[in-house]
């Protein structure tokens, strides 16, 4: 029997990264900190600017998807991924994405690289209805290897108190709607790059840019103003895979029974990775999750108007902090369980 | 005669980086962009949240000072530099620094490195009266070399319309006050590392953390509320050296005649670098510049209360976009001129 690969084998230790993030969180519990509003899942930090208004802030990168972009000599869409990673996170606290800044560090500034990157960032900002308002370009000889660079994004969203998504309203029986991804997005690439090797025709597909869910979701957040239970929580499926849904509310669980189609790229990876590890690492065809206390049809219809496929994928359960997934892989049904 | 080194010889092309930043700026002139407030020198982007209130945003890194920190196996203060680079920039548009997020990317997460880094960031946030509200930790095997990493900071400040510094009020005859640096801060390190080589006892000094000017300057910005001409402009001396002052107002010039003491570290570098290149690259003992239309004594006194040395270093001149520096190096007086 073949040895299955885990994300840790690929050099990424999510558990240790998590514990570092926890420590960071504790370290930042300082006097002024209590003034922040608590947005669902810690997807973004929410800083009030008045009694009723706040701004949401988040930062993210695109991980080793960058290396794929360099290898394929195609940097035109990696900026879309960068904006997507930040903008989709802002939605999860109920914020409307507003502005974006980028940090671009490289060993030696290369005009054609820089232009391609910026092109993608501008395209991403268009898709996310955001303004590119600034950035830092750092030339750091000796730190980055020949042709290598890193990019990070910083995004700002705005929201009123009534728009804040805390996840607290999520209750047993609520509907879980899955919104389709278009492939691997920007997570699990360190593992995927090792399994879909250079020369494999699928390797090019790993570079497909992450879906930006902003426009339809902002529309849903508007509809929510007159109907708060329409959207009770939003989870962006990123690092940590489907476990991200558990961040929304620790008191409940989530039972997934009717899954979205799994893009072929994941089947190719699946041959070498255990099924539960797949769901812990990748989006498996579902890039965003919306929890609703209402009938799902208006949500699905709104998403469709913006060209996005979605469907009811499950229910909120009373199994706290437990995520169960009934997969129909290979004709058999198997339930896998993930915990936070 | 010895060949003098320039910053470009060290692998950093400031002119090309500038042109990239310009291009970026043009690319981002989109519909919504006009809604931003124009802060002096583009030190931070100022996004209004109401008719009277705005937030200021900036992002920065610490450049190759990181490599020095790794080499000296001392990461405890590089976080202070990171906060300083961002927080001091916020002051230049008149904002009060409020919150900070960090992006930390590394090949392999190392707990002791991460702890030391965060310690510095928390210390920096204390010095800057800022909250550490979030961050991203990215493990990127293959991108970063063994033991290498990069960090970027993202800072948020708040201001009212009357607090905004645009630089437009700066006029001929205004007083230029220089505030002391404590060494090289976080700029020009790619060159300095090549000239103050490993083994040189001064090399350790290159790691001295950047001064955070927040507390006294926020105090001055408060005093300015009842006396707007007390502070008409603030320039943080970073990449580009003293030319940063020219960013404040293109219609005037700046004549420096009575300079602050130059820390010994710069004299060691000076032996291999032309004098004008020194001022184009380094802070030369002056980390911050304040332009005032009032008597300087209250400003100098306030800075002193917070332990910072400052003095009148010159005047605003009618030589537009021209910076002249009368240096008394070696007993001779020489005037060097820098243009934007």
Q: Which two tokens stand for residue A296?
A: 């799902």
> In the prediction, which pLDDT does B162 show?
95
Q: B134 vs A16: CB contact, 8 Å cut-off? A: no
pTM > 0.80: yes
Radius of gyration (C-alpha) of chain B in whole angstroms: 20
Report the distance separating Cα A65 and Cα A78, nearest Å: 8
**Is B49 an interface residue toward A (CB < 8 Å)?**
yes
Which of A32, A65, A78, A152 is the best mutation test for B, with the most CBs of B within 10 A? A152
User: How do strand A131-139 and strand A96-106 relate by DSSP bridges?
Assistant: parallel
Distance CA B76, CA B122 (A): 10
Count chain A–chain B contacts defined by CB atoms under 8 A: 218
Q: In the structure encoding, which two tokens stand for residue A257, read together?
A: 């029974």
Binning pLDDT at 50, 70 and 90, where does residue B92 land?
A: very high
Closest-CA residue of chain A to B33 = A131
User: pLDDT per position in chain A (340 positions), as tens?
Assistant: 345 566 566 665 655 555 555 545 554 554 544 478 989 999 999 999 989 999 999 999 999 999 999 899 999 999 999 999 999 999 999 999 999 999 999 888 888 888 999 999 999 999 999 999 988 888 887 788 777 889 999 999 999 999 999 999 999 999 999 999 999 999 999 899 999 998 899 999 999 999 999 999 999 999 999 999 999 999 999 989 999 999 999 999 999 999 999 999 999 999 999 999 999 999 999 999 999 999 999 999 999 999 999 999 999 999 999 999 998 876 677 788 888 7
The Cα A107–Cα A64 span in angstroms is 17
Tokens standing for A316? 């909120």
First CA to last CA distance, chain A: 29
Nearest chain A Cα to B152, which residue?
A103
For residues B68 and B61, give the distance between their C-alpha atoms in angstroms, rounded to a whole number.
14
Instruction: Determine contact: B267 vs chain A, CB below 8 A.
Output: no
Q: Which residue of A has its CA nearest to B9?
A: A141
Distances in whole angstroms, Cα of residue B146 to Cα of each of A106, B31, B142:
17, 44, 9
Mean pLDDT, residues B1-13: 57
3-state SS record for A52-80:
CEEEEEEEEECCCHHHHHHHCCCCCCHHH
B contact test, residue of A135, A148, A188, A191 with most B CBs within 10 A: A135
Cα B290 to Cα B95: distance, rounded to the nearest angstrom = 14
| Interface contact A57-B133, CB threshold 8 A | yes
Question: Which of these, B125, B135, B133, B138, lies nearest to B86 by C-alpha position?
Answer: B125
B178/B165 Cα distance (integer angstroms): 18
Mean pLDDT, chain B, rounded, equals: 90
CA B290-B294-B299 angle, 5° bins: 50
Judged by a CB distance cut-off of 8 A, whether residue A33 touches chain B is: yes
Torsion sign across C-alpha atoms B234, B240, B242, B246: negative
Given the structure tokens 């009717």, which residue do they identify? A258
B-chain residue closest to A43, CA distance: B134
Residue B264's nearest CA partner among B189, B311, B320, B196 is: B196
User: Chain B: nearest CA to A328, how far in angstroms?
Assistant: 33
Specify burial of residue B7 (Cβ count, 10 A radius: 0-12, 13-18, 19+): buried
Judged by CB atoms closer than 8 Å, whether chains meet at A11 and B108 is answered as yes
List of chain A residues whose C-beta atoms are within 8 Å of the C-beta of residue B136: 59-61, 152
Q: Is A37 helix (H, G, I), strand (E, B) or coil?
A: strand
Contact A101 B50 (CB under 8 A): no
Contact B133 A33 (CB under 8 A): yes
Inter-chain CB proximity A45 and B114 less than 8 Å: no
A112 touches chain B (CB under 8 A): no
Strand pairing partners for B308? none
Q: Which one has a higher pLDDT value, B4 or A278?
A: A278
Q: Tens digits of per-residue pLDDT, B144-199?
A: 877 788 999 999 999 999 999 999 999 999 999 999 999 999 999 989 999 999 88
Contacts of A109 in chain B (CB under 8 A): 13, 16-17, 20
């Amino acid at each position: 029997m073949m040895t299955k690969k885990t994300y840790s084998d690929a050099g990424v230790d999510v558990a240790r990264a998590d514990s570092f993030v926890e420590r960071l969180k504790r370290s930042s519990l300082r006097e002024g900190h209590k003034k922040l509003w608590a947005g669902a899942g810690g997807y973004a930090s929410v800083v009030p600017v008045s009694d009723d208004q706040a701004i949401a802030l988040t930062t993210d990168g695109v991980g080793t998807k960058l290396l794929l972009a360099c290898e394929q000599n195609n940097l035109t869409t990696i900026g879309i991924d960068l904006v997507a990673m930040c903008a989709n996170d802002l939605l999860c606290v109920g914020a409307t994405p507003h502005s974006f800044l980028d940090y671009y560090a490289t060993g030696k500034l290369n005009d054609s690289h820089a232009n391609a990157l910026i092109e993608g960032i501008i395209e991403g900002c268009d898709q996310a209805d955001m303004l590119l308002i600034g950035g830092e370009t750092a030339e750091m000889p000796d730190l980055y290897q020949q042709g290598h660079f890193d990019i990070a994004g910083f995004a700002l969203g705005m929201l009123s108190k009534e728009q804040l998504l805390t996840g607290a309203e999520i209750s047993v029986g609520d509907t879980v709607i899955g919104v389709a991804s278009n492939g691997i997005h920007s997570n699990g690439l360190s593992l995927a790059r090792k399994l879909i090797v250079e020369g494999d025709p699928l390797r090019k597909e790993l570079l497909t840019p992450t879906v930006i869910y902003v426009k339809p979701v902002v529309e849903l957040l508007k509809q929510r103003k007159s109907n708060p239970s329409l959207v009770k929580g939003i989870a962006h499926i990123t690092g940590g895979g489907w476990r991200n849904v558990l961040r929304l509310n620790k008191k409940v669980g989530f039972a997934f029974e009717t899954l979205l189609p799994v893009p072929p790229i994941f089947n190719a990876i699946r041959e070498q990775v255990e099924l539960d590890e797949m769901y812990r690492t990748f989006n498996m065809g579902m890039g965003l999750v919306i929890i609703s206390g209402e009938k799902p049809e208006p949500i699905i219809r709104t998403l469709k108007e913006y060209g996005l496929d979605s469907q009811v994928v499950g229910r909120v359960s009373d199994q706290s902090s437990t995520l169960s997934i009934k997969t129909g892989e290979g004709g058999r049904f198997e339930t896998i369980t993930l915990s936070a």
